[in-house]
Amino acid sequence: MAELDAAERKALPKSDFVFPDRAPGPGSYPVPDEDHARDALARVAANGTPEEQAEVRRAVHERYPDIEIEGAE
């Protein structure tokens, strides 16, 4: 899985997070590249609410349309 240390995560622009209002905190799901987008999908599938799962899937599909997403509409 993709890894960011605390400094790298803080340095990301808020636009690189699915939930920018939470960034760079827990549950903000950074998606600066495809590896992190896949990681966000896996993490939200394991820990997110159905609403968060839908929003992360939507955001990842919008940003990286070539990533195959289970449960995407």
Interior/surface letters 4-24, b for 16+ CB within 10 angstroms, e for the rest: eeeeebeebeeebbbbeeebb
**How far from 65 is each of 50, 57, 71, CA to CA, in Å?**
21, 10, 14
Write out pLDDT tens, residues 1-25.
Answer: 678 899 999 999 999 999 999 999 9
pTM above 0.85, yes or no: yes
Is position 59 within any domain? yes
Distance between CA atoms of residues 12 and 19, nearest Å: 13
Domain count, the chain: 1
Is position 51 within any domain? yes
Q: Within 10 A of 63 (CB to CB), how many other CB atoms are there? A: 16
Reported as a pLDDT band with limits 50, 70 and 90, residue 27 is very high
Is position 71 within any domain? no
Is position 20 within any domain? yes
Is position 55 within any domain? yes
